[in-house]
Structure 1
Amino acid sequence: FVPRKEYLDAEAFAGIIKAYQKGAFHVFISMNLSASLKHVIQAHQLVEGHPPAGKIILSFEK
């Protein structure tokens, strides 16, 4: 996969998935919070201020 201006989203997504599966990059997760209003506010404040080294995940329970 070589990025180019006219790529399709599906093609780009497939390229990213293949690279991830090969271990070409890692997604670091710093926090996994339930998607309550309290945690949504907390996550927003963290991203606005000094973001943690990693992604903040908000999980919705079924």
Structure 2
Amino acid sequence: MVELTGAQWRKSTRSGDNGGACVEVADNLPGLVAVRDSKNPTGPALIFPPTAWASFVRSTKSTH
């Protein structure tokens, strides 16, 4: 299990104003990027290597 103590969560810039259904991202931890559902902050988080997350963000920006 990955320890996320010290994660600084922020609302994703791609999350809309949809009544709290937001994606939060923590990218301040060394060697990983964590993503979670803001409605369930104590629930599971997806963990990505920073390079994979950067690739995902680039690909979403290129489609909009």
* Higher radius of gyration, 1 or 2: 1
Give the structure with the higher percent strand: 2
Normalising by structure 2, what TM-score? 0.25
Normalising by structure 1, what TM-score? 0.26
Give the structure with the higher percent helix: 1
Task: Report 1 or 2 for greater relative contact order, CA contacts < 8 Å, sequence distance ≥ 6.
Answer: 1
